[in-house]
Structure 1
């Protein structure tokens, strides 16, 4: 069975984000084992400097890379990645499975994104939009798009 892991810097506090994520995890569970991992975001002072942000990103990145399964295919969600359609995501998912990748990890950064170390470790990068979105929304959007992609691959009627 396909294993999909989301590795997220920062947690979900509001119940509506948790409920939305739980719904798509439930839907995906028919076709994949889905696990969501949350890593604590590095604390930063209110008046943060660029140097402090970089130090924080580096620390988060080191923890994230150390926690990733060694045999996983890793996709970093970041603005530098290409933007693709839902159909293209489905085809990319299919190609990964055909190539023998049974464990897929998707990385979502915290409020300051992902470190260069994480991007370097990733097998690919993907962008949802050039617009900035909160990591909570990115998590819901990713789960929904993964569900949509799997539904497309299985001939479901969710994608119209």
Structure 2
């Protein structure tokens, strides 16, 4: 199984890039892992909120394959513990999912068409976090989940 981490928005600022790169490298010891930053549409400033979400949705849905298992990060999604995330990843790996895609939406969230396509909606936190920090937290939690699956010392329950 391959873990794909998708995020709508600009490139990472230096203050988070190093951490994201470090945790992504660590995850690749367990699963092939890739980031894809989906650029904001060029005319975003002239679009209404619904139009922008629709344009972003077209880009996202155009990249998905029918076999991708999509986890949409959404404030109204289900919350999981680190152990729950580990179990979820193991379940996906056992089910022979080819690609497990974690998606962070744009500044206004995800269009309903993307949420409807998602196999699962996951709320990382009830807090409002900057998108770049969400990327870092997501990468760290995925690494933590991998260490839990291997019973390694990183996670201390």
Residue of structure 2 in register with 1:155 after alignment: 151
Deviations, residues 54-100 of structure 1 (Å, cap 9, x unaligned): 00001101110111233211100001111110000001111111122
CA distance in 2, matches of 1:82, 1:140: 19
Matched, 1:116 2:115: no
CA distance in 2, matches of 1:69, 1:139: 22
Contact 2:76 2:123 in 1 (8 A): yes
Over 3 Å counting, the alpha-carbon distance change for 1:13 and 1:128 in structure 2 is closer
Contact 2:67 2:98 in 1 (8 A): no
Matched, 1:102 2:93: no
TM-score (ref. length: structure 1): 0.91
Matched, 1:146 2:145: no
Gaps of 5+ in 1: none
Offset of residue 12 of structure 1: 2.7
Aligned mate of 1:73, from 53, 69, 75: 69
Query: Where do 4+ consecutive residues of structure 1 move more than 2 Å?
Result: 42-45
Residue of structure 1 in register with 2:39 after alignment: 40
Residue of structure 1 in register with 2:28 after alignment: 29
CA distance in 2, matches of 1:101, 1:53: 33
CA RMSD, aligned part only? Answer: 1.4
Residue of structure 1 in register with 2:82 after alignment: 86
TM-score (ref. length: structure 2): 0.93
Offset of residue 39 of structure 1: 1.0
Gaps of 5+ in 2: none
Offset of residue 155 of structure 1: 1.0
Name the stretch that deviates more: 79-88 or 10-19.
10-19
